[in-house]
Chain A
Amino acid sequence: MNEPLIQVRDFRKIYGDLVAVDGISFEVQRGEIFGLLGPNGAGKTSTLESLEGLRAPDGGSLQLMDVDPAHQPRKLRNLIGVQLQTSGLPDSINLDEAMKFFCAYHGVVPRYDLLDRFGLKEKKRTQYYQLSAGQQRRLGLALAVAHNPPVLFLDEPTAGLDVASRIELHNLMRELQAAGTTIILATHDMAEANEMASRLAILLHGKIAATGTPLELTATGSGFTKVSVRTKGSSLSDPDLNFPAVSKHISKDEYVIYYSTDIGPTVSAIITHVKVQEDTLVDLRVERPSLEDRFLEITTTGGVQ
């Protein structure tokens, strides 16, 4: 996992007066699932499309397995598989034809087995427009991996999928990763990014606002850890009661919720206090800031790399 497969250096993309991407740099290692997060207009699509060879950079450099995507499209073609957010297929094409069509252009034998694998066995003769959104997504993914590319770009892969399809797709992503495929995942789904990505970059206004593993990102924010406590008695009911590292607390239902910057001393002090007051602890929950909390924090306050 230490060989950079994708290298982005000071990459810029400009549309007229709009600077869509403003000098970002990052690397993706072989076998990683690298997540790109960001609100709409942050520069995710421009970055992805430039790596896919659809757009030329206006500054900096992009390298994918030593191939320049903008200037070596023929070499790039078999190195990448792309599942686009939009259909990318003619309405009247059926699944067998689609598999045959794309495999022919990649010079590989059609992988009809992937249609079976993706639960599309019964739909082989069905035209594309007759498929459900989930089936269209699964077909898009089957076509993207049919030529066995070392790098896979997934743009909102689970949007519109039901729970079972989503789990199946995540399992497949893990399998591909285990087989050495590098995956670039653009998503708005924080739970998906948290669960699947080895590392993440959060883009904001064309810059990388934060990067790291999901755990690193959630740990480095200014967000508080929530400690929710419920006791049998009223030992925590005094509003002037204070615990170490707690910046504020609220009461909700039968719980007192403490917002702590350092949960160790806070939890320890709460337990001691309850014990001293001869009260009984009924429930104690610790909730770390989620990736979604961190994302919201970054996108509302702006972040720096």
Chain B
Amino acid sequence: MAVTRSQPPISEQEPLPGGDNRFKLLEATMKKHQYRPDALIEVLHRAQELFGYLSTDLLFYIAHSLHLPPSRVYGVATFYHFFSLAPKGEHSCVVCLGTACYVRGAAAILAAAEQMLGIRAGHTTPDGQLSLETARCLGACGIAPTVVFDGAITGHQTPEQVQVWLERLVGGRSG
């Protein structure tokens, strides 16, 4: 995704996108950090929490507010794995691929999920229902292999169990 200056930042188009409460909440976070540039990562966290992902316009808005060049904001947003520049699915399934999970068969779990959903890890189903992702390690190695469904960690998973979970989340779907 290329970021160009062709579109003026939202904040220059209009003071605040009217009626969207999320901007007020984001503004409050930036104010709490006194609009300091070193709060950029905290602000991006909050923005993603509020909007689900970081759109180009949103990045421009943040850059303008924190008095940072857009290149810097874009650089940080793309450097860290946690930030997403594209919309996510309604539901999420994160398969942990940390060492403990790997040794206990996480690869087979991921393969089963990919096959069932018909998408690769890092992608969202075409109907926007579910995003399939992988994690490096969630630190829940004691109950490996682990999978996170909509934010809830579940341990001791098998490919069969994961398929049952997914079916519950997105309804029956053939790969």
Asked if A and B bind, the verdict is no
